[in-house]
Structure 1
Amino acid sequence: MSLFDEFEGTTHQQWYDKIIKDLKGAPGDVGVIDKLIWKSTEGIDVQPFYTSENLKQNKSKDFNLNNNKAVWENRFVVNINTIEEANKKALYALSRGADAIQFVGNINSQNELNLLLKHIEVSIVGIHFYNSNPNKTHEFFSNYLLNNNIKLNNLNYSISFDYIGELLVCGHWKTNEQADLEELAILTKSTLPIKTISVNGLSFNNAGATNVQELAYSFSQAVEYINYLTEKGLKIEEVAKKITFHFGIGSNYFFEIAKIRAAKILWKLILNEYGVIDIPININSTTTFTNFACFDQHNNILRTTTEAMSAIIGGANSISILPFDSAYGTSTEFSERIAINIQHILKEETFLGKVNDISKGAYYIESITDELVEKSLALFKEIEQKGGFLANIKNGLIQDAIQQVAQNEQQLFVDGKKTLLGVNKHQNKNNQEINKIETKGLINNIQIKVLQQVRFSEKIEDTAVSAKI
């Protein structure tokens, strides 16, 4: 006999009636409830309350989301301007408690890689390289491991370049389509136990895409890679194990938790179509750039904290937090330290790292997860029916769809219907930081329509800058 058997349960309808009564509505007055329903940018009607009856079609119960205890990489991103500076910054981040480094930028020689990794204990630190010459980096890294008698353990390592993703944000292939994808095939056939395929959903996020678009487009892009590489003779299991998905994490707290959970379900559904089971998805989450502000920049710390919480609770494998002054194009040692420390607080002081699947059974999150899966899968299938991801970025359909959503979202901020604290609400009129706003550079050699990054506070900041001149 259960401890709660003697207590009568409460049905969905009983909650419904109670809310109507408390809000002074007439019995059965559904209009009272309807006023509390809001529609998300994904087109999901968010209810004022959820019960177990909302989970009758619950999809996550059929899948192991591998969320048993939140253990994640505190990954710090280092842009390579000079080798010496990058090495110094990486060592600083590690000394402050980061447990993984992502180097972004080309490495031109064996000596440069040796200097880049100087004094870094590669055997106990996650190392990730992202650059446009990954095969050379792979060669240098292999030599480094061999020469230093280092064996890779179960930590997360990657050497990658998102060839299709960079086409989308740069407007052109690195070399050409055939040569670029052949490079990827060679890299993926490498013997090192590392991730070699990067699917950068963060680009969609930073361009203003909805969660549904980010998920659908990311998995459609992944399928392009899978199909190409399996045609080149690789086994689907080999390819699936080498993919890392990079997702942006925004400020819609519960939806972002649900997005990571939905990604895990979608990955399993897609792999099942290839006859593959039990290859978990690898997710790196990075806080979004779209809601970063130059005004009252310390508010960005609050934004990134809740965003990181969403990624942790959703079950991301690694998390990168943007320093709060990233909107200026550069960051300070102080802002970088704060970015690292946020994850320490979340892991060690909130005990998020000690709790099993903290969101499981939350009716709201589970329900939103299901809706994101359903809508993302529908959009994914639509893309595939129209020829796949590459075809849809070559004709500009994906870029246009994201741009339309971003423009609508931008207008909501300009009109004050959506709030960015310190920007369009409670703005500091004496803000001295506005002069630091930098203009965007031009993109050359365009072969397809470019996916433009957006920052929703920028128009309001530009207006303030003009007023000060």
Structure 2
Amino acid sequence: MSDTPRPVSVSFSEFEPLSAEAWQARIARDLKGADPATLRWLTPDGFTLEPFYHREALAALPNVPTPQLRPAASTTAWRNVPSYAVAAGEKGRAAIMRATDALARGADGAHFVLADTTAFDVDFLHARLPLDTTYIGYSLTAAPASFVQRLLATGTTKLRGFLQFDPITDHLPDLKGQLQELREVLMLTRSMPDFQGLTLNAAFFGNRGGTVTQQIAFTLAAAAAYLSDLPTDTLTTAEVAAALRVHVAVNPNYFFEIAKLRALRQLWTTLLHAYELPAETAQLSILAETSSWSQTTLDAHTNLLRATTEAMSAVLGGADVLSIRPFDSLFHDPNEFSDRLARNLSVLLREEAGLGQVQDAAAGSYYLETLTDTLAQEAWALFQQIELEGGLPKAVGKVMQELHTAAQAQFRRIATGEQVVVGTNRFQNTREQFDFNPKKLLRSREFDSTRATYPSEVLRLATSLHFERREKRKKRAAVVLLGAHTNQLIQESFLRLLPGQEQPAMHEAHPAGTLSVLFSSPEEATLMYATPEQFGQFSRYILRIAQDDSTFVPPVLLTADLVTMQEAVRVFGFQEFTVQGYSTEDVLARLQGK
């Protein structure tokens, strides 16, 4: 149109351009003699980042960066797709109704996480959410082919959305049979361009404490396994690649998470090139979900703030589907309040913040382009190591050990305060009143113990129970399992809270691999440690479970009358966790910020 403004170049001629050397000189002057190298950051991924980046950083990259586009090239927006868990044996009608309501209030689809595919009422689903017009994802751990057949038996001729069934990452039995199931799924849905039948559960790595480099590398290893093992004479490698989608967990490390998605897309192109696939098959679909690893039960409203930064990282990194966890999902049943906040966060970022109006907002950033390239190089090197060991699933032992090591390092950083978790290890609300029952939560098998702050939380919840019991003078005792590998974390947390001149010498003799437990009576609480075998036998004794019952899993919380508990603790050989110069009560009070 004649009245449409013409684009003009943007310049800031009034400012004299500065070189990287000029910035370095200014930094050195501001530091007043301190070494500028102290500003460098050695990341958990093992590489170092500079305190600033300049335009020379782009020239140093091996390739000229180009903007990345989402798979749906016709739109810059992402889909807002909440997740709904359906327990075993349930028909899922309540979850379906929640999804129906959400679609009328700003959601763009639904993702059902099914513990039992046979009970899920697909006819009710189709009646409420027509399968040929509604974007729906399904996460399964069994029988994906028969489930897809049930969906098609509703009368629909096509599906929209995705299926997540990843036997390699989820360590499912009978891999050969599971791969054949996946081939059947891809054959059933090969003529449905709006449905992807092979979603990789890369969120597993992010929700187990993996570094960003590990998450990318392990995802590529899983993808390579499927690209190598799934194709047959009737199912091409290109069809497998087209069916692939990646489900990632997004944590609060804002810039790293943006770069993670961008690096993953870069390496996806490289991976598909290795399989001699054309460039048009290289666009990767990404479902990004705010992580469970970073969620907390303490000061739980901070989860809203974490989810905001995680969601921003996801959309700025180029995710085409976004799922935001309700802030209270760790300890509350589904409710309209937290569902609405989670759903509206994505809507607000799109409608008010305008983040969906531009493709690849990170493109051209000196820092983010450099970080993207560094992550890509580090992840590709780790991926190649895994491939040299036989790839997945053969190298699963190496993958799980690396995840374990990374998670333990993060636990230690949180315990020492090096890694801040607001409301948990820094800026605690010492007067916090829980709007959930700590006793019930600790007893629940649904309580997620695979999170960064779990060791800190379970100690805080356990000691809260003790102080409550002491005030009420209940004539019962409790033993709370604080978990494995927490002895050293308790020591480090306690030392951090003491003034330097008060730091006592603490015993280092607690055997590796022991479990930390809290023995709580109306009069006192004692921190103790025991071997897993001791705690297992102890739990069986208290709950009157046969000692040879191999299916028994010891619970986190055990209660009994005081005499029985005292005798059992003595018989099964629990050892007191000693802090020289301080009573257990002192330790517990300080760890709670009292």
Using structure 1 for the length normalisation, give the TM-score.
Answer: 0.88
Within 5 Å, which residues of 2 pair with 1:56-205? 56-58=59-61, 61=64, 65-67=68-70, 70-81=76-87, 82=90, 83-105=92-114, 106-108=116-118, 112-131=121-140, 132-146=142-156, 156-167=160-171, 172-173=172-173, 176-190=174-188, 191-193=190-192, 194-205=195-206
Matching of residue 282 in structure 1 with residue 285 in structure 2 = yes
Query: Would the aligned equivalents of 2:324 and 2:342 in 1 still touch at CA under 8 Å?
Result: yes
Offset at residue 123 of structure 1 (A): 4.2
Structure 1 residue 59: Cα displacement: 5.7
Shift of 1:320: 0.6
Please point out which of 459, 462, 466 is paired with 1:463.
Answer: 459
Partners of 2:149 and 2:58 lie apart in 1 by 50
> Shift of residue 453 of structure 1?
6.3
Select the residue among 353, 357, 362 that pairs with 1:354. 357
Q: Do structure 1's residue 454 and structure 2's residue 463 form an aligned pair? A: no
**Partner secondary structure for residue 198 of structure 1:** strand
Structure 2 counterpart of 1:33, one-letter code:
P
**C-alpha separation in 2, matches of 1:7 and 1:463:** 56
Structure 2 stretches lacking a partner, 5+ long: 1-7, 467-594
Task: Quote the Cα distance in structure 1 between the aligned partners of 2:36 and 2:334.
Answer: 46
Aligned-partner Cα distance in 1 for 2:454–2:178: 34
Query: Is the 1:107–1:113 Cα contact (8 Å) retained in structure 2?
Result: no
Number of residue pairs matched by the alignment: 440
1:322-361 residue CA offsets vs partner (Å, 9 max, x unmatched): 1001222633221111100100110000000112321111
1:52-103 deviations in Å (ceiling 9; x for gaps) = 1112243674555215763111011112243321221111221221101011
Out of 374, 382, 393, the residue aligned to residue 379 of structure 1 is: 382
Aligned residue identity for 1:77:
S
Kept after mapping to 1: 8 A contact 2:65/2:369: no
Three-state SS of the structure 2 residue aligned to 1:165 is: coil
Question: SS of the residue aligned with 2:136?
Answer: strand
Distance in 2 separating the partners of 1:422 and 1:123: 45
Equivalence for 1:241 = 242
One-letter code of the match for 1:465?
L
Contact 1:203 1:453 in 2 (8 A): no
- Kept after mapping to 2: 8 A contact 1:76/1:102: yes
Which has the higher mean CA deviation after the structures are superposed, 415-424 or 258-267?
415-424
Matched position secondary structure for 1:420: coil
Q: Distance in 2 between matches of 1:341 and 1:57?
A: 41
Shift of 1:122: 3.7
Shift of 1:159: 2.6
CA contact (8 A) 1:423 1:461 kept: yes
Amino acid paired to 2:104: S
Q: For 1:137, give the aligned amino acid.
A: F
Match of 2:502 in 1: none
Q: Is the 2:67–2:360 contact (alpha carbons within 8 Å) kept by the matching residues of 1? A: no
CA apart distance, 1:213: 0.3
Contact 1:296 1:422 in 2 (8 A): yes
- Asked if the contact 2:168–2:392 (Cα under 8 Å) also holds between the matched residues in 1, the reply is no
Give the direction of change, closer, same or farther, for the CA distance of 1:403–1:460 in structure 2 (3 Å limit).
same
Matching of residue 40 in structure 1 with residue 43 in structure 2:
yes
Distance 1:102 1:341, change over 3 A: same
CA deviation vs aligned residue, 1:337-396 (integer Å, no higher than 9, x gap):
110010011000000011232111111111100000000000000100110021111xx2
- Mapped partners of 2:332, 2:383: distance in 1: 34
| Cα distance change of structure 1 residues 60 and 134 upon mapping to structure 2, 3 Å threshold | farther
Q: Deviations over 1:165-211 (max 9, x none)?
A: 221xxxx41xx121111111111122342211121110011100000
Residues 239 and 87 of structure 1: is their aligned pair in 2 closer, same or farther, counting only changes over 3 Å? same
In the TM superposition, what is the alpha-carbon distance from 1:9 to its structure 2 partner?
Answer: 2.9
Contact 2:208 2:407 in 1 (8 A): yes
Q: Percent identity?
A: 30
Could you list the per-position Cα deviations for residues 190-245 of structure 1 after superposition, in whole angstroms to 9, with x for gaps in the alignment? 23422111211100111000000000001100110110112564212111110110
Deviations 1:261-305 (A, max 9, x none): 001100001111111112200100111111111111110000001
Paired AA for residue 81 in structure 2: R
Matched, 1:402 2:408: no
Q: CA deviation at 1:459?
A: 1.4
Alignment of 1:304 onto 2:313:
no
Counterpart of 2:85, as a letter, is N
What TM-score, normalized by structure 2, do the two folds share?
0.70
Cα RMSD for the two superposed structures: 2.3
- Change in CA separation of 1:10 and 1:340 when aligned onto 2, cut-off 3 Å: same
- In structure 2, what is the Cα distance between the partners aligned to 1:347 and 1:107? 34
Q: Deviations over 1:106-164 (max 9, x none)?
A: 3327x921112322244443111222222122112223243xxx655xxx511331111
Distance change >3 Å, CA 351–CA 232, structure 1 → 2: same
Mapped contact 2:65–2:363 kept (Cα < 8 A): no
Distance in 2 between the 1:341 and 1:62 partners?
33
Cα contact 2:67–2:359 (8 A) shared by 1: no
Q: Secondary structure at the match of 1:422?
A: coil
Structure 1 residues 16 and 91, CA, compared in 2 at 3 Å: closer, same or farther?
A: same
- Tell which deviates more after alignment, 86-95 or 336-345: 86-95
Q: Cα gap change, 1:303/1:4 in structure 2, threshold over 3 Å: closer, same or farther?
A: closer
Taking the aligned partners of 1:36 and 1:62, their CA distance within structure 2 comes to: 26
State the 1:398 CA deviation: 1.0
Question: Is 1:12–1:51's contact at 8 Å kept on the other side of the alignment?
Answer: yes
Q: Structure 1: 5+ residue runs without aligned partners?
A: 26-30, 443-451
- 1:308-327, aligned counterparts within 5 Å? 308-327=311-330
